A and B are shown apart, each in its own frame.
Chain A
Amino acid sequence: MAIDSYKWLPGSFANYYRGLPLQKAEPLPWTPLVKPLEECCFSLVTTAGLYVKDKQPPFDLDGERQNPFWGDPTYRTIPRDVKQGEIGVAHFHINTADLEADVNIVLPVHRFLELEAAGEIGSLAPSHYSVMGYQAYPPNTDEWENHYGPEMAARMKEEGVDAVLLTPV
């Protein structure tokens, strides 16, 4: 069974993505999971444009409005004890109403706390991460690759993270 990756897009956008000449990154990095899930420490990453209200600035949507060809490449750290009411969302490219009601559809901190309590995973790390998925047109993820990504990865290592769930939106 193969799913349709372009099912939700209007026809012209579906054709754009189908026809994009893409080069596969080779060789792909590979880290086998060497521990049972029940012993692994997890961190979560999403592209949903989440931030913690009153503690962090939103992603720079004014900048994107002024220059539609640019997207804010920074990231926000979301703590494991974040409450739904503290979650803010800054993302022009999706309807954010449902994730303002339930962050777990894109950053499942509360589901992972349940799995931790049930012993299905070892632990949920203190820190989780959100970027805002629109990275310029044509797409340019150099800042993620060379700056912010390595910074997030280093903080994960410091927190003893073994495995990461990524959920683009």
Chain B
Amino acid sequence: MPVLARVIEAVGISTVTVTMMPDLAERVGVPRIIGLEFPFGHTLGHAGDREEQTKVIRDALRVLRDARQPNAVEHLPYEWPDFERWKREWHPSEPAPIIAFLIEQRRRARAAE
């Protein structure tokens, strides 16, 4: 995604990126970054919560308007309730193929020790 932000910015379009991993975005370089602690797959808020989604979007619009130099970062303080539940719940019901592969590889490496 950082590369798409840069490609779009480079043709003369202003971009703002909202992400739960602002540290990565900042390290690889993204023009404008909004960071928030929402779980993966829920970048702008809870499903059905129009107010929460609009609040985050308005923050993004403000940063788009006010940022003055590249790699501008702002972290939002909004909290996501029920951490223990969501730490499990953002995951897909079965691991992605690469994750399953890496888990199996690690299991075999441990078994061989």
A37 CB-CB contact with B under 8 Å: yes
Instruction: Check B47–A165 contact: CB distance below 8 A.
Output: no
A53 CB-CB contact with B under 8 Å: no
With CB as the reference atom, state the residue of chain A lying closest to B96. A92
Asked, given contacts A25-B6, A92-B92, A95-B41, whether A166 binds B97 with beta carbons under 8 Å apart, the answer is no
Instruction: Check B41–A164 contact: CB distance below 8 A.
Output: no
How many A-B contacts if CB must be within 8 Å? 225
A81 CB-CB contact with B under 8 Å: no
CA distance A85 to B3 in the complex (A): 30
Chain B contacts for A82, CB-based, 8 A: none
Overall SS of chain B's interface: mixed
Number of interface residues of B (CB under 8 A): 71
Instruction: Check A29–B9 contact: CB distance below 8 A.
Output: yes
A163 CB-CB contact with B under 8 Å: yes
Instruction: Check A165–B14 contact: CB distance below 8 A.
Output: no
CA distance A164 to B7 in the complex (A): 12
Chain A contacts for B43, CB-based, 8 A: 46, 105-106, 167-169
Instruction: Check A29–B70 contact: CB distance below 8 A.
Output: yes
Instruction: Check B45–A105 contact: CB distance below 8 A.
Output: yes
With CB as the reference atom, state the residue of chain B lying closest to A102. B47
With CB as the reference atom, state the residue of chain A lying closest to B71. A28
B4 CB-CB contact with A under 8 Å: yes
A79 CB-CB contact with B under 8 Å: no
Q: Which of B12, B48, B89 contacts A31 (CB 8 A)?
A: B12
B109 CB-CB contact with A under 8 Å: no
Instruction: Check A169–B21 contact: CB distance below 8 A.
Output: no
Further 9 A-B residue pairs, CB within 8 A, beyond A1-B75, A8-B86:
A23-B28, A26-B29, A29-B70, A98-B41, A108-B44, A108-B53, A120-B61, A145-B7, A163-B13
Give me the 7 closest cross-chain CB pairs, A-B, nearest first: A68-B97, A149-B7, A5-B23, A102-B47, A28-B70, A94-B41, A29-B10
**Which residues of B are at the interface with A, using a C-beta cutoff of 8 A?**
1-24, 27-31, 35-37, 39-48, 50, 53-54, 57-58, 60-61, 64-65, 69-71, 75-77, 83, 86-87, 89-93, 96-101
**Which residues of A are at the interface with B, using a C-beta cutoff of 8 A?**
1-8, 17, 20, 22-33, 36-37, 45-48, 64-65, 68-69, 92-96, 98-99, 101-102, 104-106, 108, 111-112, 114-115, 120-121, 131, 133-134, 137, 141, 144-145, 149-150, 152-154, 156-157, 161-169
